[in-house]
Amino acid sequence: MAEQIRHHYPGISVELVVIKTQGDIMRDVSLAKIGGKGLFVKEIEENLLRGDVDLAVHSMKDVPAELPDGLEISLTPKREDPRDVLISRAGMRFEDMPRGSRIGTGSLRRGIQIRNRMDWLEVVPIRGNLDTRIRKVSDNLLDGVIVAAAGMKRMGWEHRISHFLQAEVMLPAACQGILGIETRKQDPLVADLRFLQDEQTHLEMAGERAFLKRLGGGCQMPVAVYGRITGGVIRIDALIGTLDGGTMIRQEISGPSEEADQLGDTLAANILSQGGKNILDDIYATEQ
């Protein structure tokens, strides 16, 4: 992002400020137990509100549906590959892995889909950065891990991917592969950065985040939602499942891309009314 700004405005000074968040520091505790993925953005947003930084760049997958007062997601560059991928020993694909193979993931969403569709595999909860997770495979602690394709590509590690998982097999998280630029509301700086904006990505994000917002929960829920636009029409697929993967409700909706947020909201309402609310209520009750 910084290089794109420097290229567009030669000679401009761009300072990168690295902020370690609680989500980065507390890697040995389940996200669900310490406040969800919002822990990856809270300290960054506090710096933005104080004026210590002018822009915050987030993986939108980590950003809660509700933003703090005074802040907004102003720009969304073009989406990277939204799929999940498998990193496995000997480059095995899912269908080739023996019964009982241990697959690591820190995501409830991935866990329920594995348990529902690939119940011969064992799901092992893990935390840590991308390199730490992959090392568990090379050190023979796990037979495979599932991570986001976007992260692997941004790190230049695409050659280490064993299997790209299509959305029909592993539905992505809301906004997976999308970076968002958060600013203070009505900041005039945004006008100078419009060259970074990708409208298709913005609409896909709007539909997916509207779905999450209607659910009324945080990012760390056993849900998935993925919008894709073709020829001015957006199709949004979503699912909610029980933690054991035994029950999964999956639906889709399509309509004009400019109505993405309304469609995402409607899809969430449909799933909630057909059993999704009961699933989420049971999960929240268990966490109390």
The partner residues of 122 in beta bridges, in order of sequence, read 102
Q: Are strands 233-241 and 248-256 parallel, antiparallel or unpaired?
A: antiparallel
- Burial (Cβ within 10 Å: 0-12, 13-18, ≥19) of residue 223: buried
The partner residues of 252 in beta bridges, in order of sequence, read 237
DSSP assignments along 215-272, one per residue: HTS-S-SSEEEEEEEETTEEEEEEEEE-TTSS-EEEEEEEEEGGGHHHHHHHHHHHHI
Is 261 assigned a catalytic role? no
Q: Which of 62, 81, 84, 265 is catalytic?
A: 62
> What torsion, rounded to 10 degrees, do the Cα atoms 184, 189, 193, 194 define?
80
Find tokens 């309402």 and name the residue: 269
Q: Which two tokens stand for residue 192?
A: 């100078």
111 contacts 123 by C-beta, under 8 angstroms: yes
Backbone angles phi, psi at 79, to 5 degrees: -65, 135
Residues with a known catalytic role:
62
